[in-house]
Structure 1
């Protein structure tokens, strides 16, 4: 009984301070908007998932982070393919995208986090420079997994995945996943570091060691809880 009364008292105190305008710092507030410029906090996956249901807030977060993008009208079909609340992404705020990619807004937000929290720190650590560009071989594609007729629909078919093939540094040095993944020295170390840390911000990352279909790229999705293979 005493514990219950103490619990009610605590709730009353919280309600009082909340009514007077007090709010916890954004890092400790699951209802605060996601700031893509800040390091991921305890609630960032929840906040990122919420962006999928709040397209205006998602686009505002991208703009706040300096991403270069154009909102796209929804596309329905063919079949179960298409997208909702997607953008044409040209840059993440620091790095350019090799060619504009059609991606869901949460995936665009994930790529901004990947650039800020993983790519740029790894490049500074190993090369003493920045990543200028991220290369890819596609985002939206209306197909099943691996293009097999009997397989489930690919996440690419909903603009919810992108296949990154490499990165270009500010000094022009190119890092290619297909050619440098097994390389000794800084190139291989950089790509492994990026892959290993990518799931700190991405929901799913499949790389060259996953299977032969991914030997040439990192398959990146926003949805998930940090699964890297």
Structure 2
């Protein structure tokens, strides 16, 4: 093989090697996608506005591993302070704010004799698999379609946490179980401290129903 032919051969091999390396690289940052909300999302957003929920729309994004934020919003105000309110699908935001207003507020007055001034959450969007599961299936958190609630702060200064209150005083137990029962009527999936150790310190709410029969899963 002549020297010129050998040089051309090595050049071609080098080009293919670089192309092969590039094809294996995966982008690490979120990729923006079209941000025009769907018709269902527009109807849901109109419903939120009619209920005096203040929110801001967020850009659509997709992530490596299948995680995504599509038609999501950030709830700014709905009359009750809440922590860690990140990206949420509109149906999740609508049901959560209704649950807070029409279940949490009256239950606190009935069972605890005080007013809830803050709901503490552990967040919404999180690109991860289902906690405590061996299946590796993505959590609804990976689609901004879930929220975890950990505690409630009352006007009189008390803080009722799931970790301590679920088996706390009779009043705390009654309050938290009433909230669990109410949530089961609003969300597709509700998991609490009795479900497994991974949920000992919070309620998990999401809008996905059982894949088996399409009904709510409440534990």
The normalised TM-score by structure 1 is 0.71
Contact between 1:97 and 1:134, CA under 8 Å: does it hold in 2?
yes
Q: How many Å separate the matches in 1 of 2:143 and 2:125?
A: 7
Structure 1's consecutive aligned runs of 4 or more residues displaced over 4 angstroms after TM superposition are 147-150
1:228 aligns with 2:218: yes
State which drifts further: 218-227 or 132-141: 218-227
Structure 2: segments with no counterpart, 5+ residues:
1-36, 210-214
Shift of 1:53: 5.1
Q: Which of 20, 38, 41 is 1:55 aligned to?
A: 41
The aligned length equals 178
**Superposition pairs of residues 62-77 of structure 1, within 5 angstroms:** 62-77=48-63
The higher radius of gyration belongs to: 2
The 1:192/1:67 distance shift into structure 2, 3 A limit, reads same
Structure 1: segments with no counterpart, 5+ residues:
1-50
**Superposition pairs of residues 82-97 of structure 1, within 5 angstroms:** 82-91=68-77, 93-97=78-82
Q: What root-mean-square deviation, in Å, do the aligned CA atoms of Structure 1 and Structure 2 show?
A: 2.1
Q: How many Å separate the matches in 1 of 2:132 and 2:94?
A: 27
2:178 matched residue in structure 1? 193
The 1:204/1:147 distance shift into structure 2, 3 A limit, reads closer
Contact between 2:190 and 2:204, CA under 8 Å: does it hold in 1?
yes
